[in-house]
Amino acid sequence: MCRTKEEGGLNIINLENQNNALLVKFLDKFYNHASIPWVHLTWSKLYHNENIPPHSKKPCDSFWWKDVLKLFPKFRDFARCNPGKGNTTTLWSDNWSGQLLEEVFPQLHSFCRKKHWSLKHFVEKDPEVTLFLPLSEQAVEQLYELDVLLTSSLESQETPDSWEYTWGNIFLPKKAYNHLQGQVNAPPIFKWIWKGGKLGKHKFFTWLLVRDRLCTRNLLKRKRMHLDSYACALCTHSPEETCLHLFFTCTFSQTCWNLLQIDWDLDLPPQEMLIKARVNFGSHIFREIFITTSWTIWKVRNGVIFDNKAASLTEWKILLKEELGLVCLKAKRRTADPLKLWCENRL
Ligand SMILES: [Zn+2]
């Protein structure tokens, strides 16, 4: 539900990720040495030893700061250090050069005495202090390559480190939230159902239908709810009431679709079936007609189950006309005009 509508969700905010995106802002201020009292205080009180970056040390001090620092791995996913002094980043496991050096120089890394030392420490100290000697031939070659990289990448060691983000220099909680949420590839049908001039209830209903989350008897059975019968209430064959049956293979709904001259190729998977029917229909108003018809079939089904009404085609037709009339009021002229014409001819 917290995914975007294009990704098959309802665009509801994921509170955990939202909270983390806002908390990570403290790391932005801290690592970029913002001119704020708590930042100065934290650096001077807790991190005067510049040989180890703050996130490589065991979290210390207040519960608040410990919790904020725990978010560093998430922060590191979209933040990158531009080293100056080199005291806020590790040489090996932080992505300050566009790549993780522990992966680029694995042999040299294996000779390293302390893997979590800062870049500053490695640059300032002699190899005797930072590495186990003697080095293998391969490690020596990698040490030369590392020297070249350090010479070309490092700015003046007088300037403090700065951290930038995959989207730019300024930290933006919204971008951080999107990054924490990640992306999911969803079928294009989810984008399709939210477009157009349908009523909100129709859109939400279709989202439930596409996700197979409509409260059919089959869903209640899956939720282990006991019913006397799980059979379809609209037809005499009485198979189990699934979404596929209720809206496409049920004799009642098939009669409805036939009246509207919409054919379903039931041999195809649901999405392809929908695409084929849309192509055969030949007009962009297919979406409004498909969704509103499904909605009215659902209303007739609810009338039968909850109000002891009969499954009446006449009543369904009146209901469909009413609902399409409401859709025409909301839709743009490009959709409303052909839809009105279609209603006059067909209903
Ligand atoms: Zn049925």
How far, in Å, is the centroid of ligand 1 from the Cα of 237? 7
Instruction: Render pLDDT for 6-39 as a digit per residue (tens, 0 to 9).
Output: 777 787 888 999 999 999 999 999 999 999 999 9
Max CA separation in the chain (angstroms): 91
The reported pLDDT for the residue numbered 198 is 62
> In DSSP terms, which residues pair with 90 in a beta bridge?
118
Instruction: Render pLDDT for 239-264 as a digit per residue (tens, 0 to 9).
Output: 899 999 999 999 999 999 999 999 99
- The whole-angstrom separation of Cα 8 and Cα 210 is 9
83 and 96 Cβ atoms separated by less than 8 Å: yes
The reported pLDDT for the residue numbered 323 is 92
Tokens 């005495």 found at: 113
Mean pLDDT score of the chain: 88
How far, in Å, is the centroid of ligand 1 from the Cα of 186? 30
How far, in Å, is the centroid of ligand 1 from the Cα of 240? 8
Q: Confidence class of residue 173 from pLDDT cuts 50, 70 and 90?
A: very high
- The whole-angstrom separation of Cα 264 and Cα 248 is 7
Average pLDDT over residues 69-86: 90
How far, in Å, is the centroid of ligand 1 from the Cα of 302? 13
Element (H, E) at 163: strand 162-165
Rounded to two decimals, what is the model's pTM? Answer: 0.70
- Is the model's pLDDT at 1 over the cut of 80? no
The reported pLDDT for the residue numbered 59 is 80
Q: Confidence class of residue 331 from pLDDT cuts 50, 70 and 90?
A: confident
How far, in Å, is the centroid of ligand 1 from the Cα of 326? 27
How far, in Å, is the centroid of ligand 1 from the Cα of 193? 24
How far, in Å, is the centroid of ligand 1 from the Cα of 238? 6
How far, in Å, is the centroid of ligand 1 from the Cα of 233? 6
Instruction: Render pLDDT for 266-304 as a digit per residue (tens, 0 to 9).
Output: 898 888 888 899 999 988 899 999 999 999 999 999 999
